[in-house]
Amino acid sequence: MDPILSNWYVLHTYSGYENKVKNSLEKLVESNGLQDSILQIVIPVEESVEKNGDKIKKVSRKIYPGYVFVKMVMNDEMWYRVRNIRGVTGFVGPTGKDAVPLSEEEIDFMGIKESIKDVTYSVGDIVEIKVGALKGHYATIKEVDQEKSRVKAIVSVVGENLIDMEFSQISHMN
């Protein structure tokens, strides 16, 4: 199938089932050879380090709890397979039955992007955060994980905070 015909869709899930749904979708793709139909599955998260007295802990929060974003080629068979995964209550759309693709503006606003493998970040780079509560703030990269397309960076908002973000959630400063 031609991936050009793919779009981003939003699945509504039971509360707390986002990761289970993502894992089930990944197993469906792997076991049925659907790599050309389901191209990417994303649960946007923000990770930060919080201090509580002397204790420091890493906290991960879902930006859109109850939702999973899927870039896929939509047809009746794929709609049926995805819709019937345990924990999925439906596609986001006017009735829950109709799958409505996200517009480019919505994709940009939500920070949902395809993984771009040729983007490179280095330790010390200053980047702009494109999503979530820290949108518009700048951060300095401290670690880069090319394999997972993620960075750890320091952002200065009420002190210095270490955040963990996907490449799609940040951009180089212009």
Interval 54-105: pLDDT, tens? 787 777 788 889 999 999 989 999 999 999 999 999 999 887 677 899 888 8
Q: Of 114, 143, 163, which one is at a domain's C-terminal end?
A: 114
Cβ contact 57:50 at 8 Å: yes
Please indicate, yes or no, whether residues 36 and 68 belong to a single structural domain of this protein: yes
pTM for the predicted model, two decimal places:
0.61
Report the interhelical angle of 18-32 vs 76-83 (nearest 10°): 130
The amino acid that residue 6 corresponds to is S
Residues 82 and 38 in one domain: yes
64 in the same domain as 3: yes
Query: What's the pLDDT tens digit per position in 23-64?
Result: 999 999 999 988 888 988 998 887 777 777 778 777 778 888
Q: Which of 114, 130, 151 lies at the terminal end of a domain, its last residue? A: 114
Q: How many domains does the chain have?
A: 2
Q: What share of the chain has pLDDT > 70, as a percent?
A: 92
Q: What is the CATH number of the domain that holds 36?
A: 3.30.70.940
Q: Domain range holding 73? A: 1-114
Residue 124 clears pLDDT 70, i.e. is over it: yes
